[in-house]
Amino acid sequence: MEREEFTAFRKKLNKTQSQIAQLLGVSVKAVHSYEQGWRSVPAHVEKQMLFLISRATQGENVMKPCWEIKTCPEEIKNSCPAFEFNAGELCWMISGTLCEGHARKSWQDKMKICRGCETLIAVLGKKGA
């Protein structure tokens, strides 16, 4: 997550740096550092921020489950944690999902795929990747 996106999400949530720090479980200094670009946003903070945005924008988009959007074959769908936990709108948050047929080894690798996917794009309120 880039600093501009982090800041835009904080503002979309209508939170001060202090308030978002509390929600994310980090210090105000850390939030300031993320927004200034002095520190990278760690995976666990990015995940929490995306979750908060997804809940704040929940009513804005009616989402089909990811397995319908991606038309996953039955054998993939039935083995995927997103399907197992009925979390088709939160698939981007769950490690081990079988996007493009297999799980990714790291959050960063997973997010490279997710940021181009209609499911997360809709959550973020973007028209395209």
Q: Which fold has domain 3-56?
A: 434 Repressor (Amino-terminal Domain) (1.10.260)
Tokens of 91: 């698939």
**Extended strands (E) in 34-74:** none
| Domain spans in the chain, listed from the N-terminal domain onward | 3-56, 66-124
Confidence of residue 38 (pLDDT cuts 50, 70, 90): very high
pLDDT category at 129 given cuts 50, 70, 90 is: very low
Q: What is the pLDDT of residues 85-125, one digit of tens each?
A: 999 888 988 989 998 888 998 888 998 889 888 888 887 77
pLDDT of 83 higher than 90: yes
Whether residue 126 is predicted with pLDDT greater than 70 in this model: the reply is no
